[in-house]
Amino acid sequence: MSAKLLRRLLIALLVVILLGAGIWWAKRPKPIAVMLVTVDHGRVESSIANTRAGTLEACQRTKLSATMGGRIEVLAVKEGDRVEKGQLLMKLWNDDQQAQSTMALAQVETARKRVAEACAVAANAESEAARQSSLFKQGFVSGSREEQARSEALARRAGCDVAKADVAQAQARVSASRIEQRRTVIYAPFAGTVAKIVGEVGEYSTPSPPGVPTPPAIDLIDDSCLYVSAPMDEVDAPKVVAGQPVRISFDALPKQSFPGKVRRVAPYVSAVEKQARTVDIEATLDPDQAPPRLLVGYSADVEVILATREDVARVPTSALQEGSRVLVAGADGTLQERKVKTGLSNWEFTEVLEGLKSGDRVVTSLEREGVKAGATFVADDKSAK
């Protein structure tokens, strides 16, 4: 074989090799960009949270209405006013009842004067009866005369007692008229803020009959004492007890949470139609760290902290696969599956007891296509260091 032919064969072979290498390079598996987080040490908590949004409630809230209907004559407050306990809030027209009360007071005064008159007559009759009895013993008057004087004294004394009873009856009418007047006024049962008023001066206010949801005249809230009521899944209910620490967050105050404690756990399970069975808990805010102004009715979430461990190896909970497995970034550029033993866990971090060490990098972007053991990878620019 001539040197010229050999050179051509070598060139052809080189071309085939280069062409094959190009095809392989074009079809080779491309590295997958993955989010990596380095295993570190820190706090891990075990916690549970409410299944549906909770609500900020006032410790005292009452919806007030007069116990009888009538035309509103006085509205002593307006919505948003702060009021003190016992302060007048609303008064219905009650001139007729006031007139009846005035008449009852006059009857009391008249009855008292009758008492003075009747009892004075009774005293005189008793004195006369005593005198007639003395004369009878001395033989100056007959027995019938003495008996008549004694009967007259008894009758006059009875008249005095009847007059006293009339006074008591008149005073009872005064009390009854005052009670009727109180049915037309509303006083604040506690200090608080007037949230809502239904009705204006001159309008007719009607109390709520049993079973009829008539709007109350005044909604009064004591916002000096607040708590959050939140539903917990019935499965988690046995883990919650009064006094446990919680973190409370409000939709109106994003990216903030506030410490507090469990105040109460409901002694029964609520069954809401088309929803899971839940147990309501009540949590109060730490007064030293509570936000300055909260509105009753805010939606809120409560995270109950069941246990806490400090300075332990941890990974993001999002890095865990079924069966407590994680994907670790291998030194050869491929993802390696590793079985781990876990401890405390919440939605953010999981404690690692065995299987990883500080400095290992685990994959958190498990939802990306092609992320599996053996796949080649490159670290996403947003990966945590």
Could you give the residue ranges of the DSSP H alpha helices within 183-308? none
Q: Which residue has the higher pLDDT, 140 or 210?
A: 140
**pLDDT at position 262:** 96
pLDDT value of residue 273? 60
Q: Assign 4 a pLDDT band (cuts: 50, 70, 90).
A: low
What pLDDT, on the 0 to 100 scale, is given for residue 187? 92
DSSP 277-317: -EEEEEEEE-TTTS-S---TT-EEEEEEEEEEEEEEEEEEG
Does the pTM surpass 0.85? The reply is no
pLDDT above 90 covers what percent of the chain? 28
CA of 29: how far to CAs of 67, 375, 376, in Å? 81, 8, 8
Query: What's the mean pLDDT in 92-100?
Result: 78
Q: Which of 42-46, 257-261, 299-303 has the lowest mean pLDDT?
A: 42-46
Asked if residue 272 has pLDDT above 80, the reply is no
- 89 falls in which pLDDT band (50, 70, 90)? very high
Beta bridge partners, 214, equal: none
Tokens 């509205």 belong to 75
Mean pLDDT of the chain: 85
User: How far is residue 247's CA from residue 54's CA, in Å, rounded to a whole number?
Assistant: 13
Whether the per-residue pLDDT at 341 is higher than 90: the answer is yes
pLDDT at residue 79 greater than cutoff 60: yes
Q: Do domains 49-61+225-308 and 66-92+185-205 have the same CATH topology?
A: no
Over residues 59-85, mean pLDDT: 88
CB distance 316 to 349 below 8 Å: yes
Q: Identify which has the larger pLDDT, 115 or 283.
A: 283
Task: Point out the least confidently predicted range of 100-114, 248-262, 314-328, 330-344.
Answer: 100-114
Residue range 149-186, pLDDT digits in tens: 888 888 888 888 888 888 888 888 888 888 777 888 88
Q: Where are the domains of the chain?
A: 28-46+309-379, 49-61+225-308, 66-92+185-205, 95-182
Question: pLDDT tens-digit profile of 225-254?
Answer: 899 999 999 999 899 999 999 999 999 999
User: Does pLDDT of 204 surpass 90?
Assistant: no
One-letter identity of residue 310: E
Residue predicted with more confidence, 375 or 212: 375
Query: pLDDT at position 20, please?
Result: 66
Residue type at 377 in one-letter notation: F
CATH architecture, domain 66-92+185-205: Beta Barrel (2.40)
DSSP at 274: T
Q: Mean pLDDT throughout 24-42?
A: 76
Range 196-202 average pLDDT:
88
- Checking if the pLDDT of 214 tops 80, the result is no
Report whether pLDDT(24) > 60: no
DSSP calls for 58-118: EEEEEEE--SS-EEEEEE---TT-EE-TT-EEEEE--HHHHHHHHHHHHHHHHHHHHHHHH
49-61+225-308 is a CATH 3.30.1360.120 domain: no
pLDDT-based confidence at residue 2 (cuts at 50, 70, 90)? low
Neighbouring CB atoms inside 10 A of 267's CB total: 6
Pick the CATH number of 28-46+309-379 from 2.60.120.10, 3.40.80.10, 2.60.320.10, 2.40.420.20: 2.40.420.20
* Mean pLDDT confidence for 364-369: 85
Nearest to 317 by CA among 107, 134, 100, 45: 45
